[in-house]
Protein backbone atom coordinates (compact mmCIF):
# COMPACT_ATOMS: atom_id res chain seq x y z
CA UNK A 1 0.00 0.00 0.00
CA UNK A 2 1.36 3.42 -0.94
CA UNK A 3 0.46 6.41 1.25
CA UNK A 4 1.10 10.15 0.93
CA UNK A 5 1.22 12.04 4.24
CA UNK A 6 0.73 15.81 3.92
CA UNK A 7 1.50 17.32 7.33
CA UNK A 8 3.29 20.60 8.09
CA UNK A 9 4.47 19.63 11.60
CA UNK A 10 7.80 18.04 10.70
CA UNK A 11 8.20 16.15 13.98
CA UNK A 12 4.68 14.73 13.78
CA UNK A 13 5.12 13.89 10.10
CA UNK A 14 8.33 11.97 10.83
CA UNK A 15 6.75 10.08 13.72
CA UNK A 16 3.60 9.15 11.81
CA UNK A 17 5.54 8.18 8.68
CA UNK A 18 7.85 5.93 10.71
CA UNK A 19 4.85 4.25 12.34
CA UNK A 20 3.09 3.68 9.02
CA UNK A 21 6.26 2.21 7.53
CA UNK A 22 6.47 -0.11 10.53
CA UNK A 23 2.90 -1.13 9.61
CA UNK A 24 4.28 -2.19 6.20
CA UNK A 25 3.17 0.82 4.16
CA UNK A 26 5.25 2.72 1.61
CA UNK A 27 5.06 6.35 2.74
CA UNK A 28 5.98 9.66 1.09
CA UNK A 29 5.83 12.93 3.04
CA UNK A 30 5.02 16.51 2.01
CA UNK A 31 5.28 19.38 4.49
CA UNK A 32 3.04 21.95 2.80
CA UNK A 33 -0.02 22.25 0.59
CA UNK A 34 1.64 22.96 -2.78
CA UNK A 35 4.19 20.18 -2.34
CA UNK A 36 1.52 17.71 -1.31
CA UNK A 37 -0.73 18.62 -4.22
CA UNK A 38 2.13 18.21 -6.70
CA UNK A 39 3.08 14.77 -5.36
CA UNK A 40 -0.53 13.62 -5.29
CA UNK A 41 -1.10 14.60 -8.91
CA UNK A 42 2.15 13.08 -10.19
CA UNK A 43 2.19 9.74 -8.34
CA UNK A 44 -0.44 7.03 -7.83
CA UNK A 45 -1.23 6.76 -4.11
CA UNK A 46 -3.73 4.40 -2.53
CA UNK A 47 -4.46 6.73 0.39
CA UNK A 48 -3.63 10.40 1.07
CA UNK A 49 -3.52 11.48 4.72
CA UNK A 50 -4.18 15.22 4.48
CA UNK A 51 -3.78 17.71 7.31
CA UNK A 52 -6.37 20.47 7.00
CA UNK A 53 -4.33 23.42 8.31
CA UNK A 54 -1.43 23.57 5.83
CA UNK A 55 0.88 26.44 4.83
CA UNK A 56 0.96 27.61 1.23
CA UNK A 57 -2.34 25.99 0.30
CA UNK A 58 -5.05 25.07 2.78
CA UNK A 59 -5.94 21.40 3.08
CA UNK A 60 -9.49 22.15 1.95
CA UNK A 61 -8.13 23.60 -1.29
CA UNK A 62 -5.78 20.64 -1.78
CA UNK A 63 -8.70 18.24 -1.35
CA UNK A 64 -10.92 20.21 -3.69
CA UNK A 65 -8.27 20.37 -6.41
CA UNK A 66 -7.51 16.66 -6.15
CA UNK A 67 -11.17 15.78 -6.55
CA UNK A 68 -11.54 18.20 -9.47
CA UNK A 69 -8.49 16.62 -11.16
CA UNK A 70 -10.08 13.17 -10.92
CA UNK A 71 -7.57 11.85 -8.40
CA UNK A 72 -8.56 8.29 -7.49
CA UNK A 73 -6.66 8.21 -4.19
CA UNK A 74 -8.74 7.88 -1.03
CA UNK A 75 -8.40 10.98 1.17
CA UNK A 76 -8.27 10.89 4.97
CA UNK A 77 -8.42 14.43 6.35
CA UNK A 78 -6.81 15.33 9.67
CA UNK A 79 -7.71 18.41 11.69
CA UNK A 80 -7.25 19.88 15.14
CA UNK A 81 -10.92 20.93 15.03
CA UNK A 82 -13.46 18.33 16.04
CA UNK A 83 -16.65 20.31 15.52
CA UNK A 84 -19.46 18.72 13.53
CA UNK A 85 -19.40 21.53 10.97
CA UNK A 86 -15.71 20.84 10.25
CA UNK A 87 -16.51 17.18 9.69
CA UNK A 88 -19.34 18.10 7.32
CA UNK A 89 -17.15 20.62 5.48
CA UNK A 90 -14.30 18.15 5.00
CA UNK A 91 -16.50 15.36 3.71
CA UNK A 92 -18.40 17.83 1.54
CA UNK A 93 -15.16 18.72 -0.26
CA UNK A 94 -14.67 15.10 -1.28
CA UNK A 95 -12.65 13.62 1.57
CA UNK A 96 -13.43 9.94 2.19
CA UNK A 97 -12.85 10.02 5.94
CA UNK A 98 -12.09 12.48 8.71
CA UNK A 99 -9.98 12.09 11.86
CA UNK A 100 -9.63 14.78 14.56
CA UNK A 101 -6.34 15.43 16.33
CA UNK A 102 -5.08 14.14 18.67
CA UNK A 103 -5.74 10.59 17.49
CA UNK A 104 -4.69 7.12 18.59
CA UNK A 105 -2.19 5.75 16.11
CA UNK A 106 -3.88 2.31 15.82
CA UNK A 107 -7.06 4.14 14.82
CA UNK A 108 -5.18 5.96 12.05
CA UNK A 109 -3.74 2.67 10.77
CA UNK A 110 -7.20 1.07 10.84
CA UNK A 111 -8.78 4.00 8.99
CA UNK A 112 -6.08 3.92 6.30
CA UNK A 113 -6.54 0.16 5.92
CA UNK A 114 -10.29 0.57 5.56
CA UNK A 115 -9.87 3.23 2.88
CA UNK A 116 -7.35 1.08 1.04
CA UNK A 117 -9.83 -1.78 0.90
CA UNK A 118 -12.40 0.61 -0.56
CA UNK A 119 -10.02 1.75 -3.30
CA UNK A 120 -10.60 0.74 -6.91
CA UNK A 121 -9.95 -1.93 -7.89
CA UNK A 122 -11.01 -3.28 -4.51
CA UNK A 123 -8.68 -5.74 -2.81
CA UNK A 124 -10.58 -8.38 -0.81
CA UNK A 125 -9.68 -8.77 2.88
CA UNK A 126 -8.50 -12.31 2.11
CA UNK A 127 -6.69 -13.31 -1.10
CA UNK A 128 -6.30 -16.94 -2.16
CA UNK A 129 -4.60 -18.81 -4.95
CA UNK A 130 -4.25 -22.56 -4.68
CA UNK A 131 -2.90 -23.32 -1.20
CA UNK A 132 -1.73 -19.74 -0.60
CA UNK A 133 -3.85 -17.51 1.66
CA UNK A 134 -3.13 -13.85 2.41
CA UNK A 135 -5.00 -11.89 5.08
CA UNK A 136 -4.57 -8.30 3.87
CA UNK A 137 -6.07 -6.79 7.03
CA UNK A 138 -3.85 -8.65 9.51
CA UNK A 139 -0.84 -8.67 7.13
CA UNK A 140 -0.39 -12.43 7.44
CA UNK A 141 0.16 -15.16 4.86
CA UNK A 142 0.16 -18.96 4.75
CA UNK A 143 0.95 -21.71 2.28
CA UNK A 144 -0.60 -25.12 2.81
CA UNK A 145 -1.39 -24.00 6.35
CA UNK A 146 2.23 -23.04 7.01
CA UNK A 147 2.75 -19.43 8.19
CA UNK A 148 5.03 -17.43 5.91
CA UNK A 149 7.57 -15.15 7.57
CA UNK A 150 7.57 -12.36 4.99
CA UNK A 151 9.41 -9.04 5.09
CA UNK A 152 7.19 -5.98 4.39
CA UNK A 153 8.22 -5.65 0.74
CA UNK A 154 7.83 -9.41 0.17
CA UNK A 155 4.31 -9.25 1.59
CA UNK A 156 3.53 -6.21 -0.55
CA UNK A 157 4.67 -7.93 -3.74
CA UNK A 158 2.71 -11.11 -2.92
CA UNK A 159 -0.41 -9.06 -2.14
CA UNK A 160 -0.19 -7.11 -5.41
CA UNK A 161 0.40 -10.21 -7.52
CA UNK A 162 -2.53 -12.07 -5.94
CA UNK A 163 -4.80 -9.02 -6.23
CA UNK A 164 -3.99 -8.83 -9.96
CA UNK A 165 -5.96 -12.04 -10.47
CA UNK A 166 -3.62 -13.62 -13.00
CA UNK A 167 -2.74 -10.36 -14.77
CA UNK A 168 0.95 -9.78 -15.43
CA UNK A 169 2.31 -7.04 -13.17
CA UNK A 170 5.38 -5.18 -14.39
CA UNK A 171 8.41 -4.56 -12.21
CA UNK A 172 7.74 -0.84 -12.62
CA UNK A 173 4.23 -1.19 -11.20
CA UNK A 174 5.48 -3.27 -8.28
CA UNK A 175 8.18 -0.67 -7.58
CA UNK A 176 5.65 2.16 -7.66
CA UNK A 177 3.03 0.44 -5.49
CA UNK A 178 5.20 -1.33 -2.89
CA UNK A 179 8.11 1.11 -2.53
CA UNK A 180 8.17 4.85 -1.82
CA UNK A 181 9.40 7.73 -3.99
CA UNK A 182 13.01 7.28 -2.83
CA UNK A 183 13.30 3.95 -4.65
CA UNK A 184 15.77 3.98 -7.53
CA UNK A 185 13.85 3.12 -10.73
CA UNK A 186 16.94 1.27 -11.98
CA UNK A 187 17.36 -0.81 -8.83
CA UNK A 188 17.24 -4.60 -8.75
CA UNK A 189 15.10 -4.43 -5.59
CA UNK A 190 12.03 -5.96 -7.26
CA UNK A 191 13.99 -8.84 -8.78
CA UNK A 192 15.72 -9.58 -5.46
CA UNK A 193 12.46 -9.34 -3.48
CA UNK A 194 10.67 -11.70 -5.89
CA UNK A 195 13.56 -14.14 -5.63
CA UNK A 196 13.38 -14.13 -1.83
CA UNK A 197 9.59 -14.44 -1.94
CA UNK A 198 9.86 -17.46 -4.24
CA UNK A 199 12.23 -19.14 -1.80
CA UNK A 200 9.87 -18.57 1.12
CA UNK A 201 6.83 -19.79 -0.83
CA UNK A 202 8.63 -23.03 -1.62
CA UNK A 203 7.50 -25.74 -4.05
CA UNK A 204 5.74 -26.04 -6.36
CA UNK A 205 6.68 -22.66 -7.88
CA UNK A 206 3.89 -20.09 -7.70
CA UNK A 207 5.28 -16.94 -9.36
CA UNK A 208 5.76 -16.90 -13.13
CA UNK A 209 8.29 -14.57 -14.76
CA UNK A 210 7.33 -13.27 -18.20
CA UNK A 211 10.45 -11.89 -19.92
CA UNK A 212 10.23 -8.13 -20.60
CA UNK A 213 6.72 -8.09 -19.14
CA UNK A 214 6.79 -8.79 -15.41
CA UNK A 215 5.43 -11.30 -12.95
CA UNK A 216 2.14 -13.06 -12.32
CA UNK A 217 0.43 -15.56 -10.05
CA UNK A 218 -2.44 -17.70 -11.21
CA UNK A 219 -2.19 -17.01 -14.90
CA UNK A 220 -2.65 -19.68 -17.56
CA UNK A 221 0.46 -21.85 -17.70
Confidence of residue 15 (pLDDT cuts 50, 70, 90): very high
pLDDT above 90 as % of the chain: 43
- The pair phi, psi for residue 219, each rounded to 5°, is -75, 170
Mean pLDDT of the chain: 85
pLDDT at 30 (0 to 100): 96
pLDDT at 80 (0 to 100): 75
pLDDT at 145 over 90: yes
pLDDT at 84 over 60: no
Computed from CA positions of residues 86, 88, 93, 97, in that sequence, does the dihedral angle turn out positive or negative? positive
**Which domains are seen in the chain, by residue range?**
2-118 (3.40.50.2300), 126-217 (1.10.10.10)
- Residues in Cβ contact with 8 at an 8 Å cutoff, skipping those fewer than 6 apart: 31, 32, 51, 53, 54, 55
pLDDT at 148 (0 to 100): 95
Distance of alpha carbon 156 from alpha carbon 21, whole angstroms = 12
Contact 169, 219 (CB under 8 A): no
Confidence of residue 199 (pLDDT cuts 50, 70, 90): very high
Amino acid sequence: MRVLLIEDDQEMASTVAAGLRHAEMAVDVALDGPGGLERALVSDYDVIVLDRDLPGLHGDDVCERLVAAGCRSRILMLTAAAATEDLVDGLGLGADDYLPKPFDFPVLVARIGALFRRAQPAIPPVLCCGDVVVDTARRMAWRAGRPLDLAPKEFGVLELLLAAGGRTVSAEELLERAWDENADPFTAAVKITVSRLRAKLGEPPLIDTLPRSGYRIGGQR
